[in-house]
Amino acid sequence: MTWWREARFGMFIHWGLYSILAGEWKGSKGHAEWIRDTARIPVDEYEKLLSEFNPVKFDAKEWVRMAEDAGMKYIVITSKHHDGFCLFDSQYTAWDVMSTPFKRDILKELSDACKASGVRFSTYHSIMDWHHPDYLPRRPWEVATRPAEGANFDRFVEYLRNQVTEILTKYDPGVMWFDGEWESTWTHDYGGPLYELCRKVKPDVIVNNRVDKGRGGMAGMTEGEHAGDFGTPEQEIPATGIPGVDWESCITMNRNWGFNAEDKNFKSTTELLRMLCDIVSKGGNFLLNIGPKADGTLPQESIDRLREIGQWMKVNGESIHGTNAGPFEPFGWGRCTQKRDGNDTFLYFHVFEWPSEGPLMLPRFGNEVDKVEVLGVSSDLTVIFGPNSVGVSLPSAQRDPHATVLKVRIKGKPIVFEKPAVIAPALQFVNMLDVQLRVASPGLKIRYTMDGTLPTNRSREYIGPIRLRATTLLRAASFYNDELVSDDISVRFEKVAPWPATTVPTTAAGLARKKYAGNWDKLPNFAELTPVATDAVGTVTLPPPPTEEYVAYVFEGFLRVDSTDAYVFDLRSDDGSRLEIDGTVVVDNDGLHSSAAKRGVAPLDKGLHRIRVLWFNKTGGADLELRMGQIGRPLELIPGELLYRGG
């Protein structure tokens, strides 16, 4: 992962037969790389595009040169998108570029061009395949004309594995970037082995998390134990950094991934560069997408932005490449990245907005400052030093309109004057609660109070978990050399009475389960619906295999808890779900989404409590899992011996 973490900036390329249509089908112009599905083009009609694909202006060396000049360190191109068409010479299908008038292996040309440059070649490969006869499920709109009878998904998986092996051995990609894993047919039992195949064939290849089923929606980060080397937020940037986790935001330059002739909604160079600064300041990589035209050229708007980004990167690239997440929380006027240099540290402040009056004050820190400079500017910088503070002034003519970069060299690791973080499993408890306080910077002390007063340098110093046994307003702040150097943080923890247990005359093991059929975007009012089936189950689970669509289940019964305490519940589902205990909503995970988990806390008396789990699925993957644990203890699947229904 070393080269990938240092690269920070890459080019995404979505290119294929769909570029010929340029987003238009029979007068409708709102399509792109998904056009076969969104425009509902029959497969035999779509196949006619094969004879039209002839990008005679394609120049692999020119594409790589533009990426390199823009400061991009790697390229990820679609070896195969969801339509199944391959941009390489595959021995396993004729649905590839060698069957077109072009008859040139695009992946080989790009791979060779990358090897002759400083750009790393990588490939995007879709798991989903709308062309292969064995891929399932069919698109809902084509089932009648393209039935699934005779299709064998395991046979398709073998085809997929063969092509992945082919790509890894012939083109030497640095990254295998998978996609399309959200459909119900793709499971962890396929994803894990595909990841291991990549590792076996090319041990140093990096594989994204979409190879498996653990991605939590467009937020893109893996939830649970699933294969993948980095997370893939799509069209968004995480609000905060994710320490210790590798991630990459993939974002379009305009609206669409593939070429759409009508899509002129291009982000400005300033917006794109500030996205780059934002992403890298949080420890991520930026994969910026380009949608080439059918003739093999890039849209002029993309060319212009790549050139302008490159001009900025030639001056300021050292603040991006090889840097890590900044030590500060994001601040209104800009972002910060950092890079170690022996025992010292370079802090790179990306200034988006300068104050209208007075100097720009940098966030406070406790290190000795060795040098302050502006990248690309040799003079005119005024630096004002105060107690643990630095202010800078720069004439407006010397400021970069996209982002001015201040390079500050400090002694040692950054000592950031940050407020403490409060770490606790819940805000409510029944018996007791252990609370931890934390700051990342060395040299800071945390002092706290439990009576609601502001901490001072005479308040108790935090040295370990704080055990609460009563309702408490906890306030904490950071101190450096006995000086208050941060805002304080205030959190109220409440001791509550447990919900009383209920008495049930007779019980039977397991829960009652009702099945409903319908098309919903959120949980319906089940009281107004009639179930299509009822049965009893040992625990909260879906019938195997969990691939049904347009379906809902309601589980009802009683949960036995053996100790009076607060309990944490974790409800994972795809699509929406809700957990109710004793008539109160404990976890609301409703709505259309891929597999995602939410948590809630319930204070429960020893004994039986009414439990109700509601779940629905529209299309795509299906998932439902309920875990619980006493507060402060690990969460586990609820065992069947704790679940009952009325006898």
Residue with tokens 């101190």: 479
Rounded-to-integer distance, Cα 602 and Cα 611, Å? 12
Contact (Cβ atoms closer than 8 angstroms) between residue 575 and residue 593: yes
Could you tell me the mean pLDDT of each successive run of 10 residues in the chain, 647 residues long?
97 98 96 97 97 98 98 98 98 98 98 97 98 95 93 98 98 98 91 97 98 86 88 94 91 98 98 98 97 98 98 98 93 95 96 94 92 90 87 94 97 93 94 94 93 96 96 96 93 97 89 96 96 94 78 96 96 94 97 88 97 92 91 92 88
* Integer-rounded Cα radius of gyration of the chain: 28
Q: Determine the pLDDT at residue 560.
A: 96
Which domains are delineated in the chain? 2-315 (3.20.20.80), 326-411 (2.60.40.1180), 421-495 (2.60.40), 507-646 (2.60.120.1560)
Identity (one letter) of the amino acid at 311?
A: Q
DSSP 462: P
Size of the chain, expressed as the number of residues it contains: 647
Q: What backbone phi and psi angles, to 5 degrees, belong to 24? A: -120, 140
Rounded-to-integer distance, Cα 524 and Cα 617, Å? 11
Q: What is the DSSP string of 189-254?
A: HHHHHHHHHHHHH-TT-EEBGGGSS-B-GGG--B-SS---SBB--BS---SS--TT--BEEEEESS
Contact (Cβ atoms closer than 8 angstroms) between residue 571 and residue 639: no
pTM: 0.87
- For the chain, what percentages of helix, strand and coil (3-state, to nearest 5) are there? 20, 35, 45
